[in-house]
Structure 1
Amino acid sequence: MTTRTLIKNLVASEDGPVSVSGWVETVRDQKKVQFVVLRDESGAVQLVHPRIFADDGTPAEDVVADTISALSQGTFLTASGDLKHDERVKLGGVEIKLASLDIAASAIPETPIADDSAVDKRMDWRFLDLRVPRNALIFKIQTTFEHAMRTWWIDRDFIELHTPKLMASASESKAELFEVGYFDTKAYLAQSPQFFKQMAQPAGFGKIFEIGPAFRADPSFTSRHATEFTSVDAEISWIDSHEDVMRMHEELLVAGLAAVKEKHGDAIRELFDIEVTVPSTPFPRIPLAEAKRIVAERGYEVPRADDDMDPEGERQIAAYARETYGHEFVFLTDYASSIRPFYHMRHADDAGLTNSYDLIFNGVEISTGAQREHRIDVLTEQARQKGLDPEELDFYLDFFRYGVPPHGGFGMGLSRVLMLLLGLPNLREATYLFRGPTRLTP
């Protein structure tokens, strides 16, 4: 059995016998010579087969030619033949002169989607959509980005956790909860690992991280929301303020984006027309009240009854950060306690503000972080002020009754980062299999 060679390795291989496996991208079935472009997970190569003719010029029996003539786009096969380097070949400077084709699985000739199909149609046929190199590259970038973050954490002695996604009570609030039957009772799908990553602090773990699923029963059809998403979370002990969390967060992102630029920068430039920028540190930091004043001076008044920022306000403050600091990222800090969870620590000199932030990337919020309130009496009172019953939070409050260090952390949406990094129009394209209010398949 001939060993399979990945197509990306053909350029470095010597001329001679070779075997590649993949799927058919195109076929040119000409009178004298046939060409097949075969693609695998690493690239594409041209297969060549000169037709065989008898001495009188009539077509001779030719099994390979007959097989090529019957090929449909998407057919998976193994091709064996002789590799030849030829700089005249536009596709990688190599081609394979075919000796044989072994069909693994034929494809239906009519393809249900095209390059210009609507995104929802493409999501219906996601496994075909992901054969497109541009779309497949998104998940190679995701792999590199996650690996770089994990490396950064592990090199600094963080512990990786896998927290449960079935919970007895809400992890954030009672809104946007998916309720599921659980034997003779009910459970909820975790909106975030918030409670459990905080539990690691009184456990003495010090620094932890998790990359895992989270669920929000949000009936939103915007370009940046999903009902199931991958959350990137970290929590650290012995902090002085949310500044320590922001410093950790920005260093982590620099490590991730530097790895993406080094490994995929050329491909991103070619397929997305995007130049990956590795941001400088520190990222700009703007208190929310000041950000709202800046946005107002730019001619936009945030039309909200509460103290929060809205999407257009985020775009405006991001534009300001680009113009003023030349930066794609900006931290909005010191959010009002009225719009933050009960477990965010409040300013020592102003209980109306919290030691918290949102991180904006290219005009969209990708993360919320904060210093947590670790004093049990203060935490319990803040829960009451938010209308929560401390008895229903008893298991969570237990974490704080036996000693806990000052701590803080963040949660970040992975697909949002990829969407904004690559200039994608919506979250669907940055998610392997998207879940929204009307999509449960494939």
Structure 2
Amino acid sequence: MVSRTLIRELAAAVGQEVTVYGWVNALRLQRKLQFVILRDHTGLVQITNKRTEEPGELEQLIEHGMPPESAVKVTGVVISATNVKLGGLEIQPTAIEVVSRSEALPIDRQTGIDQRLDWRFLDVRQPERQLTFAAQTTLEEALREFAYAEGCTELHTPKLMGTASESGSEVFAVKYFERTAYLAQSPQFYKQMAIAGGIDKVFEIGPVFRAEPSFTSRHATEFTGLDVEIAWIDDVDDVMSFEEKMLAQMLRRIKERHGEAIREIFGVEVNVPATPFPRYPMAEAINLLRSRGWDPQGVKEELDPEGERLISAVAAEEHGSEFVFVTEFPVEVRPFYHLRPAGNPDVTASFDLLWKGLEITTGAQREHRYDVLLKQAEEKGMALEPLTSYTDCFRFGTPPHGGFGAGLNRILMVLLGLESIRDAMFLFRGPNRLTP
């Protein structure tokens, strides 16, 4: 069996014969030389073949038998070539095997995103897509390392639910034998069950489903959620502190491993944030922005997307921070299970975290007292009977706790400066897309 050498390993193989596997990224066929740019998941290398007076089999193969995106195996000698931009190396081939010849491509680098998504398996061959998912892997790795070090237990909660979560809106109903089930909007209720079960800190990385008919660049009907719940907190600041430290570690790892590549490919500088992040109570944020001319129609108690961008600009101006917490959301715009501070019962102990103007997280301290929880549900006009499987968790001694849910794909979108969340996920799902 031939031993494969990855392109990133070639610098250690100068003067040696190697075999590399990959795709034909580009061809440059000149009168005296043939150049093949070969690509694998670790980088690019130039294959240089000198033409002969009588074209041989190798020359004919390069000329006519391996169009761009063909899958090939190339055997040859690694040569140091200072005039070659791709790492100062090239391979002089002795043999090429075309393992799968490509047809004419249906997309190219200028193709619009909707058509690219139709051919996503081709689209993800591009270096920027490869880097996107390498960065996603690193984000998840760093999150897990942080959570494990903090004593968290990783759980995997059901995505099929017998009753609609939250208020019942924006959920997908599915046929489940002779009854109806619902795809979970969030693992939050299950995280709280774990807290009630005596597991002090839990987290999950998993799919989230939202039946939102939204066509914006930041919405998807299925995405990957990063969810955390921690017990025995003093207040919601403990939850925010956990998240900002977690994000700082995630970005520190990204900068170490991918910072240079992200700068080169996406033109984005990865900054490791200082903690704590600035915090603006909602009422203060609204008054501050209105004093600066923000006055959207119909928005009274929370920020619209423009308001989120503006308060982020204020945080950058006043604190030099890309991140900002907006806190103390009014009771009217938050769920019944958010705790209401004793000294200010008109607001909730809740927050959104914005990064460069985009909301990436929603979190709160939860109401852990059974009688107060039922009262708040009734005030919201909710029937108590369908909530029993949730509220029963609070009948037998549940500690103060809180948590948050963050969107991995939104984090990736902001991190890389992507124009749409559709490029921040392997296969996008939206109101009009269920394929491929």
Whether the TM-score (by the shorter chain) exceeds 0.5 is: yes
Ranges in structure 1 where 5+ consecutive residues have no aligned partner:
54-58
Residue in 1 that maps onto 2:208: 214
Q: How far off its partner does 1:306 sit?
A: 4.9
Structure 2: give runs of 5+ residues left out of the alignment. Answer: none
> 1:216-250: CA deviations, max 9, x gaps?
00000011100001110000000011100000010
Which residue of the other structure, out of 67, 78, 85, is the alignment partner of 2:80?
A: 85
**Alignment partner, residue 56 of structure 1:** none
Corresponding residue to 1:112 among 102, 106, 110 = 106
For residue 102 of structure 1, the aligned residue among 92, 97, 103 is 97
Cα deviation for residue 162 of structure 1 reads: 0.6
Distance in 2 between residues matched to 1:63 and 1:389, nearest whole Å: 78
Q: Deviations over 1:280-326 (max 9, x none)?
A: 00000110000001111111124335522111111110110011111
Cα deviations by residue, 1:152-172 (Å, 9 ceiling, x for unpaired): 011121100110100011222
Q: Contact 2:224 / 2:407 at 8 angstroms: preserved in 1?
A: yes
Which residue pairs with 1:138 in the alignment? 132
Report matched runs for 1:239-318 at 5 Å: 239-318=233-312
Shift of 1:363: 0.5
- 4+ residue runs of structure 1 moved beyond 4 angstroms? none
Find the aligned partners of 1:139 and 1:413 in 2 and give their Cα distance.
15
Distance in 2, Cα, partners of 1:301 & 1:52: 73
One-letter code of the match for 2:12?
A
Query: What is the letter of the counterpart of residue 64 of structure 1?
Result: L
**Per-residue deviation, residues 125-146 of structure 1 (Å, max 9, x unmatched):** 1111111112221111111111
Q: How far apart, CA to CA, are the structure 1 residues paired with 2:57 and 2:380? A: 75
Kept in 2, the 8 Å contact 1:376–1:401? The answer is yes
Matched, 1:52 2:52: yes
Contact 2:231 2:401 (C-alpha < 8 Å) held by counterparts? yes
Instruction: Select the residue among 176, 179, 186 that pairs with 2:173.
Output: 179
1:345 aligns with 2:352: no
Shift of 1:18: 0.3
- SS of the equivalent of 1:12 reads helix
Is the 1:239–1:408 contact (alpha carbons within 8 Å) kept by the matching residues of 2? Answer: yes
User: What is the CA–CA distance in structure 2 between the aligned matches of 1:33 and 1:118, rounded to whole Å?
Assistant: 34
CA-based RMSD: 1.1
Q: Is 1:390 aligned to residue 387 of structure 2? A: no
Instruction: Give the corresponding residue for 2:407.
Output: 413
Equivalents in 1 of 2:316, 2:36: separation in Å? 47
1:149 aligns to 2:134 (yes or no): no
Maintained 8 Å contact 2:286/2:302: no
- Take 1:171 and 1:190, find their aligned partners in 2: how far apart are those partners? 7
1:441 is the counterpart of 2:435:
yes
1:322 counterpart (316, 341, 346) = 316
- Aligned position for 2:25: 25
Q: Secondary structure at the match of 2:169?
A: coil
3-state SS, counterpart of residue 11 of structure 2: coil
Letter in 1 for 2:84: V
Task: Give the length in aligned residue pairs.
Answer: 435
Asked whether the 8 Å contact 1:306–1:339 carries over to 2, the reply is: no
